[in-house]
Structure 1
């Protein structure tokens, strides 16, 4: 996530959580020797993190009502496609994406070889998340995650796991946890990984001995490629297919989900949604109905790679914005139709 107030995202990647219940603390501070905060310190210190360091970190954490307010006002709850698209599909962002690929050409070529993810898709993720590293968030991650872990009504346990992972990362990297900034939901660095994703998927792509998503764009490029590959991106395959259909989306079809492709092309045809181009009737897709500014609806059929993008952010709006930004960057770079097929390389040995 970014710190941009216009785009407040709610859904993030699945990650591990502590067993302890962290949503019940009522105090506005985070006393490291009492209640649920002590349980967190106990758990993380049992994993090898110095206890005194942990207690000092939690004594520095501050409650943030702004974080809780941001979580309740997330854009995906309130926006339709054309509104969301307008935030991210602008000429400046497209041009910056082209330049960013040019500036880091070697890293993007390598991410295509090793992970089979197109350079434009990786760049588009960075473009949507942080404007290619320009807007990484201005909330102290320690404060955001502590507030959400101990004060969010429904997702405290999830964010407790994120706080634990964040503390482990900061300790491992020798960084003061209070010095690190990110989104209101604790997402960090160029790619806005939440801590459990940082721990699971970040890679040292420039081989300097450290995984640094805070300030190193090369590690960020490789880590996004690794994330997609681990979630079964299929090199050389399309992200979606165009379709045509009635003015009003037919009932009985679950549109715009973040589920694995589930609706068969044959069933969609029976409902009046016809793919543009050739696709087998038994192929399963995610049916998308995208509302336009004039009130019309554009239909698309999300394929496996579309679903993979929703693993990064569980929102069809997000996945579609990344896809269209990637297409626009590819067009500006002069890539031919079917540009995504250029990633069908023999993958190198992955780290």
Structure 2
């Protein structure tokens, strides 16, 4: 009976897998045809796609932290003392390349290094998935934006065909972003530069090329040299005026409505939009066109804010001063590692205590929260950490 059951199960699997495999093969064939029509050589197409199988990229589509995480958690994990100290070291180490990038593209070093820190932790976290495989998977199996993923797939093959990036180093995120500053392939083709002068635009192995390419991207996205991204402001208690980063007005407009800098000073010149990332009870910011240029890198306000605040910290300025509207703040990476270590001591399997809050850690947190009477949401927060410290 066991052998019969195994045969039946195998037959059922093949019946289910057959149509899916046929659809994959048909889609991949179409992608190859499109790439050839775009001028990619047959040698590159064959090398990149022969035997290619789908990966798990689709499962990450609705889990991007900048859209699913409270803004105070998101910023706390990206702008911490570790990243500030390392970023300041990078400013010194790559000073020559950053100066060259600023001279050519007009973007200050602190902003470029802040993008680098948020995108890949200064080159330590590129992503481990083959870019071509991820983009083929998304082009064929994603529930939406398939045309976009097809375009990026073809762009990825063009990069390989051009020789700027070698196949073995063409690794990235689930969405196909790669390199020190995580460019999508089409962004690379239109924006990447050879800042180190070796004849290749290689953001996978050259930090200098990555920094120059990022500065070029921001310039093309509307960066205004010499203008700041914005600053934190104080709202009058009765404020009920317009909000939104897209609602740009002269600074005099905001001053007439009782808005001031945190120190009570004037707002200066230029124009800005009023951004309230956590509502009227949280920090408020007046943001300029340069904030919008950073937002163009990844269309999420929490993402752009983290980069802007990190850039200020790299300049020696303070971070966000107004408390977030929560009684349970987010954790730095050091605190997240401590939390994971304490969970391990409490008997949970969370994998490596690396500060990355993955599925195992979330499940362990949720179970622990249930045990100690906290809301069972799996969130790595100060209340959970304090409970673990005292347990």
Q: By the TM > 0.5 criterion, same fold?
A: yes
Structure 1, unmatched stretches of 5+, are 1-25, 333-351
After superposition, what is the alpha-carbon deviation per residue over 1:6-55, rounded to whole angstroms, capped at 9, x for unaligned? xxxxxxxxxxxxxxxxxxxx7357766x3x43332222212332225314
1:330 pairs, out of 295, 315, 326, with 315
1:220 is aligned to 2:205: no
Change (3 A) 1:48 1:328: same
Q: Which residue of 1 aligns with 2:285?
A: 300
The correspondence of residues 29-68 of structure 1 with structure 2, limited to 5 A, is: 34=26, 36-65=27-56, 67-68=57-58
- Corresponding position: 1:291 with 2:292: no
Q: Match of 2:306?
A: 321
Aligned partner of 1:10 in structure 2 is none
| Counterpart Cα distance in 1 of 2:163 and 2:273 | 40
The match for 2:347 is: none
Structure 2 residue runs without a partner (length 5+): 1-18, 318-391
Alpha-carbon shift at residue 298 of structure 1 (Å): 1.2
* TM superposition shift of 1:110: 1.2
Question: Which residue in the other structure is 2:71 paired with?
Answer: 81
Q: Cα deviations across residues 149-197 of structure 1 (Å, max 9, x unaligned)?
A: 1111111111110010001101221766476210111001001000000
Distance of 2:255 and 2:160 partners within structure 1: 52
Structure 1 position 301, deviation (Å): 1.1
* Closer, same or farther: CA 29–137 of 1 in aligned 2, 3 Å: farther
Partner of 2:174: 184
TM-superposed deviation, 1:228 = 1.0
Flag the structure with higher helix content: 2
Kept in 2, the 8 Å contact 1:31–1:59? The answer is: no
- Is the alpha carbon distance of 1:101 and 1:269 closer, same or farther for their aligned partners in structure 2, counting shifts above 3 Å? closer
Q: Distance in 2 between matches of 1:120 and 1:248?
A: 36
1:162-241 matched pairs, under 5 angstroms = 162-173=152-163, 177=167, 180-241=170-231
CA spacing shift, 1:300–1:176, aligned 2, 3 Å: closer
- Contact 1:149/1:157, CA 8 A, preserved across alignment: yes
Q: Alpha carbons of 1:273 and 1:173: their partners in 2 closer, same or farther (altered >3 Å)?
A: farther
User: In structure 2, what is the Cα distance between the partners aligned to 1:273 and 1:306?
Assistant: 23
Contact 1:203 1:222 in 2 (8 A): yes
Inter-CA distance 268–153: structure 2 relative to 1 (3 Å threshold): farther
User: What is the CA distance between 1:95 and its match in structure 2?
Assistant: 0.9
Q: How many pairs are equivalent?
A: 296
Query: What's the secondary structure of 2:127's corresponding residue?
Result: coil
C-alpha distance in 2 between matches for 1:157 and 1:124: 31
Structure 2 residue corresponding to 1:161, chosen from 151, 158, 163:
151
Q: Determine if contact 1:265/1:284 at 8 Å carries over to the other structure.
A: yes
Deviation per CA, 1:57-115: give whole Å up to 9, x if none: 223332123x2221111112222321111111111111111111211111011112111
Structure 2: distance between partners of 1:312 and 1:100 = 21
Residue 190 and residue 273 in structure 1: after superposition, are their counterparts in 2 closer, same or farther (change >3 A)? farther
Specify which structure has the bigger relative contact order, considering alpha-carbon pairs within 8 angstroms and separated by 6 or more residues.
1
2:387 matched residue in structure 1: none
